[in-house]
Structure 1
Amino acid sequence: MSLGKHHRLWVRFICTIVCVLMIVSMSGNREAHAAGITMTLPNASFEEVGTGIPNWNIHPTFGTDTATVSDVRAYTGAKSMKMVDTGSVISLARVSEKISISPTEQVAYTATAYAYIEQGSIDVYLIFYNGTTETRATPASVTPTLNQWNKRSITAEAPVGATEVAVMIYSGLGSITTAYIDDVSVGKTVKNSGFETTPLSDTWTVSGAATSTTVKTGGTSSLKLDDASSVAASYAESTDVPVSSNARVSAAAKVYVSSGDTGISMHLRFKNAAGTVIKEVENVFSGTTSQWIPLTISATTPNVTGAKTVSVYFTTKTTATTVAYVDDVTLDTPIEYNLGTQIVNNPLDGAVFGKDASGSYDLMYVGSSGYPSKFVVYDARTGELLDDQNLDQIEAVWGMTVASDQSVYLGTANKRALYRYVPGTVSISGGIKIITGSSLVKTTLDSGLNVIWDVSAGSSGNIYGGTATDGKAFRYNPTSGVTVLNSNLAIVDGLAHVRSIAYASDTEVFMGMGPTSNATIIRFDPTTSAQSTISPSGYGSTYVLGLDYIPNGSDSKLFAKLSSEPLIVINPTTGVVDASLGNVDSIGVSKKHPTDDKVYYTKGTHLYVYDISAKTQTDLGDVGGKAAGYTFLTDAGTTYLYAPLSSGKILKYKLAATPTIDISTSFTIPDSPTKIRSLVKGPGDHIYTSGYLRGGLSVYHPDAGLLTRNRGAGQAENMTTIGNNLYLGIYPGAWIKKYDTNSSWNDTTNPSLLFQDIAASPNFQDRPFGMLADTALNRLYVGTVASSGKLSGSFTVYDLTTSTRITTVPDIVEDQSIISLAYKNNKVYGGSSVYGGIGSTANPSVTEGKVFTWQTTSSNTLPVPQYVPVSGRKVISDLIVGPDGNIWGLAEGNSSTDPSRNLTADLFIFDPNNPDAAHTTIYANKFTSTGNVSWQGGKMVVGKDGNVYVSIGGKLYAVDASSATKDAVMLVSTGVSLLTADANGDLYYVKYETNLYKYDK
């Protein structure tokens, strides 16, 4: 039974002794930067196990109440430290291992921890040691925010003579606390970062600069740069902080320009042991005057002998007068955080029924897509869960069947994996039903049999399967193994998918094919390889998504689910269509009624019956969900139709003169992680992710560290934002939806459907990878990949003010998909891919991806201007407006002209006023790449520091936009895909398919 019929192809301490504190800051803002130039702190994330909490100790003075390693919650990883302070007259503390520090270094130290506080309060302290003498730096009091992860930070200078430092996590005397602590860090940073200590000259080298109490963001003062003339610049430089070579370093500050030119800039100065600057990078302030604006910068320490320190330097221009203020300077090492699985689903992809090994219990088997997918076993009559198996690295279960020996077979979406489950025996232990003695074994099919679309049970323990991408079918027997039925050629030339399969007899197997212009079913004899074709005309279906063979003597039938929507009933002997049943959304149809010529299925939430003899259907009533499988069971002499429903209920329909509908029995499918398909920064500066195959939209809130999960909406290939609305491009069918984030989520009405981006036949569209919002004109621009078997993508302009489609241009780049879009100066620039929809064959004469130009405020003449930006590249995977105002692009795909470039990708930049080859600069082989790119490839964002960050080929890069050669530094070396950034400039990307990661800059 094919389960994919409707799926288409595809995160007060009261101190009793005097504490010497020179500089202290405390932050409840989760987005404060990391703990300086980070030093190694053992077991900082509490992932190590052992006696007590490894590398964390009690303090001899303060409370020793309960602290344990917990796996209840974690900021990253799997564990955290749980602290339970049970009394209001006692305290609780845990102290990290001591770290050696140098008394001669002119630095301050920052400690950071993430705290999830359920009640009470948690603070972070720095303890400095000079032999047995300790000095504690006390944080400022902060009112905790409960039930979310918050960042706690403290910065202090070491007292004279200190040789060691440690971090203490503390719950004070007056606090009854329950809290979780994770990701503790400590590092070196600049002295007097908040300009609170005087004289300023002890910690900063200045000219034309002084502390000011007039304008500040916190504390009592800030740094004032007063360039009274346009002759000499005003500047301030921090002390030098030690840094290792080839390390990524970031700095941030808040800047307020009150008058004059806005040309203040922040620099990172890397120096050798002699104090000579060997590398300097800058970021120029470009924000609004008379308000505090964050300014950031990132760079990599030169990988050369002698690179020892870095300083932060602020300066004004020598050619203009400026009065500006600087505050809250940070210097740190970017840290990569795993924010965890963002999307989970538990879809009912399909179900079949069988018996346990004793034959005493009726079992219901469910396949559920995810990563990993799940195979779940229930008592069919009660819905009790008996077995829950993960299918490692499997994305979906497309086909399920129960063989004649009661084994269950699963055809899966990837890894060429066929699973066989042999059920054990159900028994009752301690009043609970259990199943023991079961086995689950995977067989890997040969290359070319990549996707197992469907499986169907035959005789003698045999099962038959249909596959992609070579259009082959196979027979499997647990004794003899796999036999490819058409080993030499595809069953029908050009049809790459045996999309559905139905066993009739050992000499007659039916196969639903695709892609094709009209529904095609092959009648195949496995014993002789003889075949004939059934081609019902007039439906225009690309695929036959599902087949059910219903034996009924001389009046046997084929029920074929077509991709164009109807379920048709066919006489397999004559090929004549008896009926066309619209809106059938159940997964397959039931077997024939035990005594009548009737089969059952659902439409929406209603159960229907089809009378084979009369060729008519009847609505039997609302059952509350769509069916995903069927069986007939007898209770006390009465036969019932059983079916699991999408509502999580098991339908028990009484087959009698007076039928009854019973949906009182529930079953629950365990959640499973879902792959992330698209990633954007959306309304509210939140990070939005959409799921692959089963959809779902999750929202990560950077300021609160919270995750909101919404189910439904479908698989968004890409998303874009205007105001409070998030626009989603949904596959299949290129549905364009609007999610109003100011209103509550409702998969039926919010997101709401704007339009379906389908051009006239034969250019049906499926995948909206190009999604671009134009805030000036309040428009959406959508670029799409065509549906299965088709080549020609389209470009659509939609007016959000009038809710009308202005135009759709099919095939705007001949025989290519439109997958990337960028906007600058009343023009949209589109990037294309030579690859069309699934199963299509690229036009041999189309070998290179192109860039086209679309005028937004004037008329366009077709064909629109277009050119090849990089010779030999097949895919223009991303386009953005770079920090220089030019259009930046990524060119990928196996090179048709130079195979040595297949595992690289190019950066190209062109002048938006002159989009042509003559005005395009190519930085060849700038990045490594998988080479195997069709639609979704590299992504770019412009950082707040003026760098361009690139996710491509599983890696994350920083590109120095100011360098003539656009120097690229690899930040993360493996597993990276997609990319976006929040308002603070921190980066977000996907790793390991399901997890959202943050690169805290």
Structure 2
Amino acid sequence: MKAITFRPMWIRLVCMVFSCMLIISCFQSLDARASGITISIPNSSFEDAGTGIPHWTTHPTYGQNTATVSSERAYTGLNSMKMVDTSSTASLARVSEKVSVTEDEEYTASVFAYIEQGSVDVWLIFYNGTTETIVPHTGVTPTLNQWTKRSITAKAPTGTTQVAVMVYSSLTTVTTAYIDDVSIGQTVKNAGFEDSLSNTWTVSSGAAVSTVQKAGGTYSLKLDDSSPTTASTAESSKVTVFTGTRVGATAKIYPSSGSGLSIHLLFKNSAGTVIKDSANDFTGTASQWTPVSVSATAPTGTASVSIYLTTGTTTSMVAYVDDVTLDRPIEYNLGTQIMNNPLDVAVFGKDASGNTDLMYVGSSGFPSKLVVYDARTGELLDDRDLMVDPNNTKIEAVWGMTVATDKSLYLGTANKKTMFRYLPGTVGTVNGQKVITGSSLVPITLQTGMDVIWDVTAGSNGKVYGGTSTDGKAFQYDPTGGTVVLNSGLPIVSGLDFVRSIAYASDSEVYMGMGPTSNATIIRFNPTNGTQTTISPPNYGSKFVNRLDYISNGSASRVFAQLSAGPTLVLDSTTGAIASSLSDIDSRGVSMKHPSDDKVFYTKGNSLYSYDISSAAELNLGDVGGSAAGYTYLTDAGNTYLYAALKSGKILKYKLAATPTIDTTTSFVIPESVTKIRSLVKGPADNIYTSGYLLGGMGVYNPDTSEEKRYKGAGQAENMTTLGNNLYLGIYPGAWIKKYDTTSTWNDTTNPSLLFQDIDDAPYKQDRPFGMLAEPSMNRLYVGSVASSGNNKGSFTVYDLSTSQQVTTINDIVYHQSVISLAYKNNKVFGGTSVYGGISSTVDATEGKVFVWNTTGANSTPVPQFVPAPGRKVISDLIVGPDGKIWGLAEGNSSGNSSHDTTADLFIIDPNNPDAAHTTVYPDKFSSIPVSWQGGKMVVGNDGNVYVSVGAKLYAVDANSANKDAVSLIGAGVTLLTTDKYGDLYYVKHEINLYKYDK
């Protein structure tokens, strides 16, 4: 008897038969369906960590006693069961408590397993009194080092009263695995039609088992509707289900002729009366097996559910049905998708003894890291995750580092008002390996408004100075006296909200690079009396001074100002006059002055350069193989060397002499950190693609094989879109539009390749391409973007992929709003806007709008536009719904209606009459949270529902209901949303993990 066949990639395996009472086949998949309508198993998630493994026992035939409750890993909750099978001649098993079941019903058991080596399988043990009927299962080789599901389905033999789940590692397998979320549940009888239809399916005339077509096994169900007015129907056995339970059903359909088949979920009360009928029509290709699915939530009063298949009464049809499933959807965690190990900033110092030279590296991630090395050898001495107590809040980025005069290291970080102080211990040798002991890492919390600490610099007597945003404040920190805000709690210059860079000259002279503004501004500030002067460099269109370095050189002291756009300026520290303008410096600032020469050093590309302060001469010193992130000078055998940490993972050792030497033979390795997920999309080959926050990188998940791939580079994609084999990425900052050819090797230099940069001229300079839409009929790419910091004029660009040319760009297409969502229907592009522009820009619009761009005819300026949802600030998503209309999400309160503060609207536009009069609004449909650009997302499911991720929740919307009824599926933590070809949903939780909702 064939029970259930899962997705077509998986191999069906015939189980061993331990009893003549049971003839069964069972199937396993790393992506198996959920366990039907589940039955409660005591301690199924191993959260009860009492003596032994509470509610789980060994088996007299199959067990070593080497399984424990562990907090090392968990699929959900805090604990799992760790199984360590160290023997290749003995097995290991654990058996759940028995639960009551019904004879001759079919049951599916599943576990989530994280397997580090070997393999584990799930078995069923049916009980008739003391008699056991064991259904074993030997699965395919599992995917290692990720949570996957392993399942088995079997029919309870006649006389069965109870069942238990056994998790098993075989005689010959050496295994280390973690088990979590064990489940067992009932499913429909004869799901593969391998048995007689009698007592399993209720069918009409024209419905019978057949061998003509089958998706698996020997038989399928044939529905033969020869009369267009008489439907051919089949209804499954009923399964007990309770009010509020989400249920999904799927069947594979092979249409031989005609059309009109649909699949239904029939929810019945205790009297057997249908109280809800949820349906979805089959739309697959003739003479090909295609799945059709339906899902719904059991209404009040539900006692059971069954699957109903019908050919309809308007057309004749012959179709074959196989591999039916009835599931309770399950959410499971696919884990982190993107890893990076960037070298963001490096500085050099000494250990506590003063005998060992240290190199400190700040590496952004989630959490970010501080990594400590021996500066001369590259040996790793310490590796610290940057977390903020008491909640272990993860730091997202390291922006600035400096070593104070007392050897303390300070780190300026992103978003959490936190500066860290690291006091190095002493380097010694233990078992032949260098280690540093006695170090401490202490977070220092700044006041509100000093959220991002962009830069820190060392002053005198152990003090440090720092620049922050979002209130444009600078501070002095003294470890003996605490933090002092230098500018009395107000921005030093009105409107300049970022102190992006800072450099110490003396206790009475500190330089600050301010922004955002149309022209970079430098303030010379006296911390002792609060006086200041302004230095305004020539206007290169720079909004920030990204880096400031003060180089003490007597009367010829200089300030090196690295602009966000344009050159690095060398300024006379006394007059502010420009001594030199240096182009293309891409290192993190410049080195301190050489101890015996007037030179400073920096890199351009992979080349090391020197700049002579006295003569203003610049010299290319040669290829060093990477860009520098930090510098020091060290003495070796009486010679002075420039040491630099290179982003290539090398330590540069350069000797300035008559015959200079360059040495980059010493390497260091930065440990990888998890990267937050910024965007999510179903892409080429139906894979699921994720892009990383800040650091970029890409994760690729294959729904058929559960295979994951990880790539570094390409930048932070605010959104992505797909056409053919290409994935198009909208990269922040600078609104770089890139193309990733998924049929070619990823290399981050030519693939993804740059197509164009979306508008780089002030005041229309763009940064964030949230609106990304590839449309195949004209082979065009449409891009909507948010302007750069300080600007509120978004843009809309049309790019021809056939000619590789920008067709047009409309700047400020909706006055002073950003373009963040796009959809296409009937030769029109619909664009949704946000009233919010770039960071620190003025908000002077009140309501988000939809504009309509005609792709085939002429467009007037301004283009037609309207407010689809009055009182809302952000149109966070637009899609083509299952009814062919434009569905949209509207968030944010601009009306003063207090209900709008925590809710979002659904609206539907008639694409043939796109205006406010032909738009239907369903107000306050969903929960919401504050949003500026990246808000809710929607997808149309294979089952005809619309699924919505908004306000940290996941919803299902019944598209056929008059009020577009919505039910919450996942109640917290959800962002982003896409779907695979099977209709299963993918979203992000905890900011770094990709989750799947298996419908």
1:390 matched to 2:385: yes
Taking the TM superposition and a 5 Å limit, the aligned residue runs for 1:646-725 are 646-725=647-726
How far did 1:201 drift?
Answer: 4.3
How far did 1:339 drift?
Answer: 1.1
CA distance in 2, matches of 1:882, 1:278: 27
Match of residue 286, structure 1, among 283, 289, 294: 283
CA contact (8 A) 1:31 1:984 kept: no
Residues 465 and 172 of structure 1: is their aligned pair in 2 closer, same or farther, counting only changes over 3 Å? closer
Aligned to 1:4: none
CA contact (8 A) 1:20 1:136 kept: no
Deviation by residue 1:863-921 (Cα, 9 ceiling, x = unmatched): 11111111121111100011111111011123344244111111111111111110111
Aligned to 1:7: none
Give the residue type in structure 2 aligned to 1:906. D
* SS of corresponding position for 1:755: strand
Residues 59 and 968 of structure 1: is their aligned pair in 2 closer, same or farther, counting only changes over 3 Å? same
How far did 1:527 drift?
Answer: 1.7
Aligned to 1:785: 786
Aligned to 2:312: 317
Aligned to 1:641: 642
* SS of corresponding position for 1:901: helix
CA distance in 1, matches of 2:685, 2:54: 40
Residues 501 and 19 of structure 1: is their aligned pair in 2 closer, same or farther, counting only changes over 3 Å? farther
CA distance in 1, matches of 2:846, 2:458: 43
CA distance in 2, matches of 1:83, 1:334: 30
The two structures, once aligned, show a CA RMSD in angstroms of: 2.5
User: Which one scores higher on RCO, CA 8 angstroms, separation ≥ 6?
Assistant: 1
* SS of corresponding position for 1:859: coil
CA contact (8 A) 1:216 1:222 kept: yes
1:351 matched to 2:352: no
Give the residue type in structure 2 aligned to 1:135. T
CA distance in 2, matches of 1:186, 1:20: 21
How far did 1:977 drift?
Answer: 0.5
Aligned to 1:766: 767
1:578 matched to 2:575: no
CA contact (8 A) 1:759 1:808 kept: no
CA contact (8 A) 2:785 2:818 kept: yes
Residues 124 and 634 of structure 1: is their aligned pair in 2 closer, same or farther, counting only changes over 3 Å? same
1:756 matched to 2:751: no
Taking the TM superposition and a 5 Å limit, the aligned residue runs for 1:11-160 are 17-21=18-22, 24-28=25-29, 30-42=30-42, 44=44, 55-62=55-62, 82=83, 84=85, 92=91, 94-103=93-102, 107-113=105-111, 124-137=122-135, 144=141, 152-160=150-158
| Greater mean deviation of Cα atoms: 890-899 or 74-83 | 74-83
Residues 944 and 656 of structure 1: is their aligned pair in 2 closer, same or farther, counting only changes over 3 Å? same
How far did 1:93 drift?
Answer: 5.5
Aligned to 2:857: 858
How far did 1:550 drift?
Answer: 0.7
CA distance in 2, matches of 1:473, 1:335: 50
CA contact (8 A) 1:686 1:701 kept: yes
Give the residue type in structure 1 aligned to 2:293. T
How far did 1:97 drift?
Answer: 1.0
CA distance in 2, matches of 1:115, 1:482: 49
Aligned to 1:886: 885
CA contact (8 A) 1:85 1:92 kept: no
Deviation by residue 1:614-661 (Cα, 9 ceiling, x = unmatched): 112101111111111111111121111111111111111112222211
Residues 656 and 859 of structure 1: is their aligned pair in 2 closer, same or farther, counting only changes over 3 Å? same
Residues 61 and 509 of structure 1: is their aligned pair in 2 closer, same or farther, counting only changes over 3 Å? closer
1:800 matched to 2:801: yes
Residues 548 and 202 of structure 1: is their aligned pair in 2 closer, same or farther, counting only changes over 3 Å? closer
Aligned to 2:272: 275
1:952 matched to 2:953: no
CA distance in 1, matches of 2:118, 2:283: 42
Residues 14 and 281 of structure 1: is their aligned pair in 2 closer, same or farther, counting only changes over 3 Å? closer
Aligned to 2:255: 257
Residues 561 and 983 of structure 1: is their aligned pair in 2 closer, same or farther, counting only changes over 3 Å? same
Match of residue 187, structure 2, among 178, 186, 189: 189
How far did 1:126 drift?
Answer: 2.1
CA distance in 2, matches of 1:244, 1:565: 66
Q: What fraction of aligned residue pairs are identical, expressed as a percent?
A: 66
Taking the TM superposition and a 5 Å limit, the aligned residue runs for 1:491-502 are 491-502=492-503
* SS of corresponding position for 1:918: helix
Residues 115 and 976 of structure 1: is their aligned pair in 2 closer, same or farther, counting only changes over 3 Å? closer
1:425 matched to 2:426: yes
| Greater mean deviation of Cα atoms: 556-565 or 37-46 | 37-46
Taking the TM superposition and a 5 Å limit, the aligned residue runs for 1:322-721 are 322-392=317-387, 393-721=394-722
* SS of corresponding position for 2:862: coil
Taking the TM superposition and a 5 Å limit, the aligned residue runs for 1:165-244 are 165-170=163-168, 178=175, 180=177, 182-183=179-180, 184-244=182-242
CA distance in 2, matches of 1:164, 1:865: 67
Residues 121 and 537 of structure 1: is their aligned pair in 2 closer, same or farther, counting only changes over 3 Å? closer
Give the residue type in structure 2 aligned to 1:839. S
CA distance in 1, matches of 2:17, 2:673: 51
CA distance in 2, matches of 1:675, 1:883: 32
CA contact (8 A) 2:541 2:566 kept: no
How far did 1:36 drift?
Answer: 0.9
Matched residue count: 978
CA contact (8 A) 2:719 2:769 kept: yes
How far did 1:280 drift?
Answer: 1.8
Deviation by residue 1:754-795 (Cα, 9 ceiling, x = unmatched): 111125432011111111111222211111111111111111
| Greater mean deviation of Cα atoms: 375-384 or 54-63 | 54-63
CA contact (8 A) 2:470 2:497 kept: yes
How far did 1:82 drift?
Answer: 4.8
Aligned to 1:909: 908
CA distance in 2, matches of 1:918, 1:943: 28
| Greater mean deviation of Cα atoms: 329-338 or 272-281 | 272-281
CA distance in 2, matches of 1:42, 1:618: 73
* SS of corresponding position for 1:684: helix
How far did 1:128 drift?
Answer: 1.0
CA distance in 2, matches of 1:192, 1:867: 54
How far did 1:489 drift?
Answer: 2.9
CA contact (8 A) 2:654 2:663 kept: yes
Aligned to 1:847: 846
CA contact (8 A) 2:80 2:178 kept: no
How far did 1:115 drift?
Answer: 6.5
CA contact (8 A) 2:108 2:186 kept: yes
CA contact (8 A) 2:67 2:81 kept: no
CA contact (8 A) 1:641 1:651 kept: yes
* SS of corresponding position for 1:449: coil
Aligned to 1:989: 987
| Greater mean deviation of Cα atoms: 687-696 or 754-763 | 754-763
CA contact (8 A) 2:899 2:924 kept: no
Residues 148 and 232 of structure 1: is their aligned pair in 2 closer, same or farther, counting only changes over 3 Å? farther
What are structure 2's unaligned runs of at least 5 residues?
Answer: 1-12, 388-393
Residues 502 and 142 of structure 1: is their aligned pair in 2 closer, same or farther, counting only changes over 3 Å? closer
Deviation by residue 1:173-206 (Cα, 9 ceiling, x = unmatched): 7x65657474543211111111111143444354
Give the residue type in structure 2 aligned to 1:329. V
CA distance in 1, matches of 2:551, 2:892: 46
CA contact (8 A) 1:200 1:211 kept: no
CA contact (8 A) 2:473 2:489 kept: no
CA contact (8 A) 1:498 1:512 kept: yes
Aligned to 1:9: none
CA distance in 2, matches of 1:950, 1:321: 36
CA distance in 1, matches of 2:590, 2:280: 64
Deviation by residue 1:45-91 (Cα, 9 ceiling, x = unmatched): 6677677666554433457597678899987888665575865xx67
* SS of corresponding position for 1:347: coil
Residues 116 and 441 of structure 1: is their aligned pair in 2 closer, same or farther, counting only changes over 3 Å? closer
Residues 645 and 54 of structure 1: is their aligned pair in 2 closer, same or farther, counting only changes over 3 Å? farther
How far did 1:168 drift?
Answer: 3.2
